[in-house]
Amino acid sequence: MVPGQLTFISGGVRSGKSAYAETLVRGAQGKRNVYIASGVARDREMAERIARHRKDRAQDGWWTIEQPQQLSEALPLIRKNDAVLWDCVTTWLANELYEGFEQGSLCADTPGCMERKWQELKTAIDSIRMKAVYVAVVSNELLDEPLVDQTYQEWLGKIHQWLASSADEAIEMENGLAIRRK
């Protein structure tokens, strides 16, 4: 079985990544357009934003999967020949890396925890590609920003490098312009 095309789209905040990815997925002509969303409503503003996005996507014919962690759990919901958009890696990484915050036991501080999540992520993306005709993965480019959390930035860099090397296309968004890197 031939894996579906993978496009990795990165760029700064509000650079047009998601809108561009949505356009690509719509053009892929999958049986369904599936949106995997990683956001979590931790406050009122985020809850309102998620509700607005759900409504907008539903009106536009998207089938949404809310999957803030463990991307592999979305796999049974994806059908053969779907076109899939996952938005976004940076939110997923924060959700996974800082899992256990409320209990004072971060995944980031637990030996092997993030390594297991990293292997699961790679397997999940490869498995989604085996079902979907097209997969677009969106991520924020934060590596040019001042160092805030070295562990987060190291993992993000590792994930971005793997995605760019695995992707059929790698796009960087800047001011609404798509710059093809691969």
Active site residues: 53
11 is in an annotated binding site: yes
In angstroms, the CA 88 to CA 39 distance is: 8
Is the preceding omega at residue 107 within 30 degrees of 0, hence cis?
Answer: no
148 is in an annotated binding site: no
In angstroms, the CA 171 to CA 118 distance is: 22
Instruction: Indicate the Cα dihedral angle 59, 60, 66, 71, nearest 10°.
Output: 170
144 is in an annotated binding site: no
| Amino acid in the structure at residue 65 | I
Is the CB of residue 107 less than 8 Å from the CB of residue 113? yes
In angstroms, the CA 168 to CA 148 distance is: 31
127 is in an annotated binding site: no
149 is in an annotated binding site: no
141 is in an annotated binding site: no
SS3 call for 90: helix
66 is in an annotated binding site: yes
131 is in an annotated binding site: no
Is the CB of residue 64 less than 8 Å from the CB of residue 130? no
Q: Cβ atoms within 10 A of the Cβ of 42, count?
A: 8
61 is in an annotated binding site: no
105 is in an annotated binding site: no
96 is in an annotated binding site: no
In angstroms, the CA 75 to CA 65 distance is: 10
Residues in the annotated binding site for GTP: 11-18, 37-39, 54-57, 66, 87
Residues in the annotated binding site: 11-18, 37-39, 54-57, 66, 87
